[in-house]
């Protein structure tokens, strides 16, 4: 008999789930590309456009706890395919947009719901269904896929916008979403037993498997979790995470850079570099979260992010913009693996789909607040300085909240090679 081992199907499910999350995250970068063209074409105020972005972010956030519930009812494959289709519809309709209310409907509601259906809670579900070993690394990989979406889509959309306008950019991205439905339907399976396998690593160490099974079966209802201090520390720190990432930087960094003299392609390249280092940071965070105190990791991530945001208003040349991109990029999504790990350790892995979904909703509420507030402050004060400084202050607050979470046992055994 040959020594070659058959590829475990968990890797196939993880790959195609990550590919879908990559695309959904790429779609979420669209507001950075759209703000300036929409202002130029329609004369809409920055605050009005930002409000539509905030509405979309809220629907995106609300989709996370709902997707965790709906996956249990309709299945992972159905959720992935439906989310891609809804996103495609929202983006395609934007081609005929000529009124502000349509931006709120097509981008704010439809695209927001679609991307919410594909929130990274699905990555956590895949990690917990299909893996006993390497769970932290898989969650980190899903986060890295989201970072790669930013890396790929932001410059592609800038190039398409410069070539033939933002309507063409949205149409092409919609076509990509539809195309991805095909591999989802062909390759995604719900559970390891559907392909005659056990979760990866379950049968390699009976002691680890028994421990993991006990942790998998522990479930904390939302009503009980809401009564704990740890849930609110996790949710509030993740609110700040959303404020300091998707909401502010994810919405306003590109227009801020253009207004400070950077060409859109140059600013886009810096954002792509940010995405590249985001991949590195998120993968490293997944590895670290299986081995070290997740509270300390979170505190470090939020602290370094706050320092980077303090530095941002002083960025005046491409070199300093690159420094910001590298430092900030390293911990953009690095907060996700330890936050999911802490949720699983504190409340049980069976609770992750629902509880992390609501914690993620808190993240996107913070993002929505920052997206809208950033536009308001820009219109009122003429720049984003106060918005960036407020994010830096909150970053330091989040670092303190992270250290206040109950110290929990490590689960390194579940990811031992």
CATH code at 40? 1.20.1250.20
Task: Return the DSSP state at 411.
Answer: -
- The torsion defined by the Cα of 315, 316, 319 and 321, in degrees rounded to 10, comes to 40
How much is the pLDDT for 2? 44
Angle, in degrees to the nearest 10, between helices 30-42 and 9-28: 20
How much is the pLDDT for 168? 93
Cα dihedral 224, 140, 338, 289 sign: positive
Residue 179 lies in a domain: yes
How much is the pLDDT for 402? 93
Measured CA to CA, the distance from residue 94 to residue 88 in angstroms comes to 10
Residue 111 lies in a domain: yes
Measured CA to CA, the distance from residue 297 to residue 302 in angstroms comes to 9
Q: Which residue has the tokens 């090679």?
A: 417
| Strand runs labelled E in 229-357 | none
- The torsion defined by the Cα of 96, 102, 104 and 107, in degrees rounded to 10, comes to -20
Measured CA to CA, the distance from residue 354 to residue 190 in angstroms comes to 18
Residue 1 lies in a domain: no
Which segments of the chain have a pLDDT < 50?
A: 1-4, 206, 410-417
Residue 374 lies in a domain: yes
User: What is the model's pTM?
Assistant: 0.77
How much is the pLDDT for 239? 96
Based on the structure, what is the number of domains in the chain? Answer: 1
**In terms of C-beta density within 10 A (0-12 exposed, 13-18 middle, 19 or more buried), how is residue 261 classed?**
exposed
pLDDT tens figures, 186-243? 999 999 999 888 888 776 554 555 555 555 567 788 889 999 999 999 999 999 999 9
How much is the pLDDT for 410? 46
How much is the pLDDT for 417? 30
Residue 198 lies in a domain: no
Q: Please check whether residue 222 is in contact with residue 110, taking contact to mean a CB–CB distance below 8 angstroms.
A: no
Measured CA to CA, the distance from residue 92 to residue 317 in angstroms comes to 37
Task: Return the DSSP state at 45.
Answer: -
How much is the pLDDT for 176? 95
Domain containing 31 equals: 9-191+206-408
Nearest to 119 by CA among 287, 359, 298: 359
Residue 200 lies in a domain: no
Residue 4 lies in a domain: no
Residue 416 lies in a domain: no
Question: How many other C-beta atoms lie within 10 A of the C-beta of residue 21?
Answer: 27
């Amino acid at each position: 008999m040959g020594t070659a081992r058959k590829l475990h199907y968990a890797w196939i499910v993880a790959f195609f789930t990550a590919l879908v999350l990559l695309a959904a995250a790429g779609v979420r970068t669209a507001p950075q590309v759209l703000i300036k063209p929409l202002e130029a074409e329609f004369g809409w105020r920055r605050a009005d456009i930002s409000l539509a972005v905030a509405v979309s972010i809220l629907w995106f956030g609300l989709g996370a706890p709902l997707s965790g519930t709906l996956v249990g009812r309709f299945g992972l494959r159905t959720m992935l395919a439906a989310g891609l289709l809804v996103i495609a519809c929202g983006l395609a309709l934007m081609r005929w947009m000529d009124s502000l209310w349509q931006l709120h409907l097509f981008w704010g509601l439809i695209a927001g719901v679609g991307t919410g259906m594909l929130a990274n809670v699905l990555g956590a579900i895949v990690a917990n269904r299909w893996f006993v070993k390497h769970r932290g690394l898989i969650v980190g990989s899903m986060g890295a896929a989201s970072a790669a979406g930013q890396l790929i889509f932001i410059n592609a959309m800038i190039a398409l916008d410069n070539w033939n306008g933002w309507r063409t950019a949205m149409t092409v991205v919609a076509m990509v979403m539809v195309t991805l439905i095909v591999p989802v339907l062909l390759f995604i399976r719900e559970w390891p037993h559907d392909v005659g396998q056990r979760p990866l690593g379950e049968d390699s160490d009976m002691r680890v498997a028994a421990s993991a099974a006990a942790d998998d079966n522990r479930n904390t209802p939302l009503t009980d979790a809401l009564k704990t201090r740890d849930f609110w520390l996790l949710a509030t720190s993740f609110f700040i995470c959303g404020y300091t990432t998707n909401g502010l930087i994810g919405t306003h960094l590109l227009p801020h850079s253009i207004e400070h003299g950077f060409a859109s392609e140059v600013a886009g390249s810096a954002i792509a570099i940010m995405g590249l280092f985001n991949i590195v940071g998120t993968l490293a965070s997944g590895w670290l979260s299986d081995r070290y105190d997740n509270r300390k990791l979170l505190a470090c991530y939020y602290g370094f992010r706050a320092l980077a945001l303090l530095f941002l208003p002083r960025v005046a040349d491409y070199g300093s913009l690159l420094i910001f991109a590298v430092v900030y990029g390293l911990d953009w999504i690095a907060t996700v693996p330890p936050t999911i790990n802490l949720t699983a350790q504190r409340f049980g892995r069976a609770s992750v789909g629902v509880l992390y979904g609501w914690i993620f909703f808190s993240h996107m509420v913070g993002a929505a607040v920052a997206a809208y507030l950033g536009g308001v402050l820009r219109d009122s004060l003429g720049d984003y300085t106060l918005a960036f400084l407020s994010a830096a202050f909150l970053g330091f607050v989040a670092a303190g909240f992270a250290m206040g979470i109950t110290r929990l046992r490590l689960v390194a055994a579940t990811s031992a090679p």
